[in-house]
Structure 1
Amino acid sequence: MSSILCHDLSKSYKGTASLQSASLTLTPGTVTGLLGANGAGKSTLIKCILNLIQPDSGSIKGTDGATIGYLPELANLPASATAWKTTELALRLSNNHADDTTSELLDLVHLDAKHWHKPLRHCSKGMRQRVALAYAIAGKPQWLILDEPMSGLDAMGRKQFLDILLDLNQQGIGILVCSHIVPDLVRLCDRVLLIHQGRIIDDVNITLHSMDEAEALESNLMQVAKYDHE
């Protein structure tokens, strides 16, 4: 598996720049975080990497032939479907189905068996996010890209979701995750990219996964926001 190389990406919508000369390298087996205010360009960068939109300029290498799982903030899974049927469908679509893999995958995302056959409309957001994650990893991806996956989860739900992501990373899956929750990024990531007005303005290595590193990142983010409003 090769690195994903994004070089000098720019993208504008109706004359407004969403990305400006953004360059980054995603190394296999590592976890990279994206941090920035709403409208900073995080989701646009993710969509470019996923080939959901085309940048106006720049290049992306390393995605051809790579298997990538994607979990958006709003997965929009069918409300009448169950966790079991949704996961089973994902496995069939990925040609990764066997008699026991549906249960194994739902176990992997720590969804209690009593919820497996319940319509998703009757499940909490945390449960639905686990099912969406199971769907995203059904094809055994080399990379997992997540856009605000912990949004709306309570503290316990976020901790459990982070534990799952850490387990997946230990299995060798490279992760790119966008989140507004700085302590979560510090706990999970090897590095965090700070994005402001479409530019990557800082690349911070996370070594201790400590509260001090979270506070330093939050301070950096606040300084950027303060400068922007002066």
Structure 2
Amino acid sequence: MLYCQNLNKTYGRHPALRDVNLSLEAGRAVGLLGPNGAGKSTLIKCLLGLIRPESGRIESEDEMRIGYLPELARLPEHASALALIRLGLALNRQDMAEATSWLSKVGIPERLWERPVCRLSKGLRQRVAIAHALAGKPELIVLDEPMSGLDALGRTEALAWLREAVDEGAGMLVCSHIVPDLVRLCDEIHLLVNGRIEASTEISDHSIDEIRHLEALLQRHASQAREGVG
């Protein structure tokens, strides 16, 4: 579906990505974990063609439908939730009549469908943004911190929507700092530190040991980053 090989990207003298290899396949969710400044968002932007790497190779299927949720989803403030989902469906050449079904699925009350998104709560705006990324059943879904602004119930529901999309055949890349969410959602998780993938694990069962191991790795590397240790 999409893969990158030996990907490198720098900002000035700072290496943002260093020899990154990653494969995204249909029907699998890949998690990307790492401390702030690790290069997660840079990797996503390279994979989507939003920025160019200095070296390396990225290959993907032709004319693949992609759903994307950036870390800071800036929805058009004066557009309604209904209009935004219709737009997402239209871009994927899908039936715009499905917009109401998507809004119902992500828990937006019908009385708010025509309300400008700037007048919705942060949690509801994030639900609309997730629906916009999923609408039209894209073949590849890329999500940067999709749980931002969601409460515990919203996170649980969002994990179910995302896993359903994967089980229906979509490939998925999820960037998050919430280890238990990634373990519950993903088939494999990669730890990115200082632009390099330092650890990878397959999620065979959602055991507490896997969660603790990943959290310990993240905390150790985050602590080293704060102290300036490479």
1:145 to 142, 147, 153: 142
1:217 to 207, 214, 217: 214
Maintained 8 Å contact 2:40/2:175: yes
Unaligned runs of 5+ in 2: none
Shift of the alpha carbon at 1:63?
4.3
Counterpart Cα distance in 2 of 1:115 and 1:209: 36
Maintained 8 Å contact 2:16/2:39: yes
Deviations 1:152-182 (A, max 9, x none): 3222221121121112122211110000111
Shift of the alpha carbon at 1:227?
4.4
**Which residue number corresponds to residue 90 of structure 1?**
88
Cα-Cα RMSD: 1.7
**Which residue number corresponds to residue 183 of structure 1?**
180
Normalising by structure 2, we get a TM-score of 0.92
**Which residue number corresponds to residue 119 of structure 1?**
116
Counterpart Cα distance in 2 of 1:103 and 1:14: 46
Deviations 1:126-166 (A, max 9, x none): 21112112222334210100001112322222112112111
**Which residue number corresponds to residue 125 of structure 2?**
128
Identity %: 48
Shift of the alpha carbon at 1:115?
2.3
Provide the secondary structure at the position in 2 that maps to 1:23: strand
Counterpart Cα distance in 1 of 2:36 and 2:103: 32
Q: Mean Cα displacement is larger for which, 190-199 or 101-110?
A: 101-110
Counterpart Cα distance in 2 of 1:128 and 1:86: 11
Maintained 8 Å contact 1:30/1:175: yes
1:158 matched to 2:155? The reply is yes
Letter in 2 for 1:183: P
Counterpart Cα distance in 2 of 1:42 and 1:15: 18
1:31 matched to 2:21? The reply is no
Letter in 1 for 2:118: R
Letter in 1 for 2:178: I
Normalising by structure 1, we get a TM-score of 0.92
Provide the secondary structure at the position in 1 that maps to 2:57: strand
**Which residue number corresponds to residue 48 of structure 1?**
46
Counterpart Cα distance in 2 of 1:114 and 1:180: 33
Inter-CA distance 169–50: structure 2 relative to 1 (3 Å threshold): same
**Which residue number corresponds to residue 109 of structure 1?**
106
Q: Mean Cα displacement is larger for which, 208-217 or 23-32?
A: 208-217
Maintained 8 Å contact 1:142/1:173: yes
Counterpart Cα distance in 1 of 2:180 and 2:117: 29
Unaligned runs of 5+ in 1: none
Maintained 8 Å contact 1:187/1:210: no
Deviations 1:44-91 (A, max 9, x none): 110011000111000011243222110012211122221112112222
Counterpart Cα distance in 1 of 2:79 and 2:37: 33
**Which residue number corresponds to residue 74 of structure 1?**
72
Provide the secondary structure at the position in 1 that maps to 2:23: strand
**Which residue number corresponds to residue 195 of structure 2?**
198
Q: Mean Cα displacement is larger for which, 206-215 or 69-78?
A: 206-215
